[in-house]
Amino acid sequence: MMDALTDEEGRLCAIYRYGIPQTDMSEAMDRIAKVAMAATGTPIAAVSIIDRQQQIFMALRGAQSGPIPREESLCAMMIGKRRPLIVADTHEQDHFSKARLVKDQPHVRAYLGVPIISPDGYHLGTVSIADVEPRMFSEANVTALVNLAALAMEHISTHQPDAFDFATGALTRHRFQANVEREFARAKRYERPATLVFLDIDKFNEINTAIGHEMGDEVLKAVANRCKEVTRVCDSFGRIGGEAFGLLLPETMPYEASQCAERIREDINKLRFRTEKGVLSITASFGVAALTRELNSAMQWFAQADIAMFGAKRAGRNCVVFAPPLDAEDAQPSEGQAAAGGARANIH
């Protein structure tokens, strides 16, 4: 089993599983930052989440900042560690002086950060304090932040939505389908564009057999994370089957959706997994289904996306295929459409 400290894909899945940053926890996290300032006598405090590319502030007091790239983040330097980061003077070491909040306003000179650790050991983010003057931090300061980090994790855990798949952080199939039904009704009513994209990891059953289920889970996590990283706030990303995922893209034309799918396909092609049998690369097949006037139900739209993905498998895999036009006689979903997922499962 992979160590939670070094399992970056698992760490990112844990962040998504807790609904971060979509779930609004700003009020509670702001209270934690406020208490951190009062307990330590520092002018700056923050509660942050660190994703693959940046530090995202759930709360920030005493300074102003948007997301910070990981390479410029003091908090991100703690990823992979379970101990606090204590910096009495950021000007004493070059790698600290290059941090965004050190070289720019508010010009941080002293920093103390404590990791927010999930119950299964993943480092989600930090509770931190800072000063604009060099200073030594006491053991009491560290203890205060350790307790506040535990409080932050407790709050995150109690607000964990039951709509997320534990293994990948994607929406469950049930919740994803509910979102598709809502978007179908909204887009139909207001005559707005929307597109569904389904993808399936090619030959995943063979991969699982060859490298084992534990490594197979790492493949699922990595693919899910690549998909999640390209979604907008208004989009939905769900796990619709064992190795199949869906993207719901409101206000998106089919060509735009195909570009999104192509980007994800290329990102998946670049993934590499080190196994006992060598380096593994993977591919995925994509189906794109626009919400058209001919569609009479969300179920039919769902089936069209599945048929398109099935078509990508038949076209040789590792490609993006559009759903075929829906004839008038197909206005009601046929038995074949409803069973498309079962037929697809035999091709992989």
Cis before 333? omega within 30: no
Element containing residue 317 per DSSP (H, E) = none
Phi-psi region of 265 (alpha: psi -120 to 50; beta: other; left: phi over 0): alpha
* Positions of the chain with pLDDT lower than 50, given as ranges: 328-329, 331-346
Cis before 250? omega within 30: no
Domains in the chain, CATH or no CATH each? 8-158 (3.30.450.40), 173-344 (3.30.70.270)
Position 160 scores a pLDDT of 62
- Sign of the Cα pseudo-torsion (178, 189, 257, 345, in order): positive
- Predicted TM-score (pTM) of the model is 0.70
Position 63 scores a pLDDT of 94
